[in-house]
């Protein structure tokens, strides 16, 4: 993620059209949601430098990064549930005793490695 200040939010649609607005117009809650997705820094510099992420790597080389709360300390468990569709579930240990859950929808059986950064 860039260390600069976000300027605009842009939404691109399937038909190629785009809408954008100034980042400052996004509500505080919206900015926190974007920060949780790893798309923007926390508003007001909250917890600067304490960001944590999980890096998932697949057999085919695909990689995804998920932002996680700063109190996540370790990967607890990863498993795949097979129903009509397959869903991977990654549990992470947190300081408050309740685990953080990340659901992995993309080829959950082919995740090769997880790294807490």
pLDDT in tens, 103-112: 888 888 899 9
pTM: 0.42
Q: In whole angstroms, how far apart are CA 18 and each of 15, 24, 33, 39, 75? A: 9, 18, 21, 18, 38
Q: Where are the domains of the chain?
A: 8-45, 52-116
Match 């607005």 to its residue by tokens: 21
Query: Tens digits of per-residue pLDDT, 23-77?
Result: 888 888 888 888 877 788 776 655 555 678 888 898 898 888 888 888 888 888 8
């Amino acid at each position: 993620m860039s260390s600069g200040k976000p300027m605009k939010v842009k939404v691109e649609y399937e038909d190629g059209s785009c809408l954008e607005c100034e980042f400052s117009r996004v509500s505080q809650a919206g900015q926190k949601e974007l920060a949780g997705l790893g798309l923007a820094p926390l508003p007001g510099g909250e917890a600067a430098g304490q960001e944590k992420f999980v890096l998932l790597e697949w057999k085919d080389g695909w990689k995804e990064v998920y932002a996680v709360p700063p109190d996540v300390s370790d990967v607890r468990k990863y498993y795949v549930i097979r129903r009509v569709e397959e869903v991977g579930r990654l549990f992470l240990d947190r300081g408050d005793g309740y685990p953080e859950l990340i659901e992995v929808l993309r080829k959950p059986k082919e995740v090769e490695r997880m790294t807490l950064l």
